[in-house]
Amino acid sequence: MRTLIILTLLAVLVMAAICYESHESMESHEYLNPFINRRRANDFMPPDTRQRVITQERIRERTKSPQELQRETCENYYPCELYAFNHGYAAAYRHYFGRRRTK
């Protein structure tokens, strides 16, 4: 009978040690409310860095190299693109658009 009481007390102690909720598990407050406010969902990302990246991308779009602008012009014109597959984009641009002179 004495061993049964000791084993029961030991089982209760093991159960208490395993099932104990520490204060650290309650720190995130997810225990009480697992969902966060929609406005606070992206608080960890500062908005100025995203805006800066978008601004830098817009600046890069505005300042393209002349070769890239010529290639885009050639890609938009199908015969020039076909010619570029055989001779390259620089030669194709010269062939289709190089002879044009504005007065």
Stated pTM of the model:
0.39
pLDDT digits (tens, 9 = 90+) for 68-85: 888 988 999 999 999 999
CB within 8 Å of 87: residues ≥ 6 apart: 95
pLDDT digits (tens, 9 = 90+) for 22-52: 666 555 555 566 677 767 766 666 666 667 7
Contact 91, 103 (CB under 8 A): no
Q: What distance in Å separates the CA atoms of residue 72 and residue 93, rounded to the nearest whole number?
A: 10
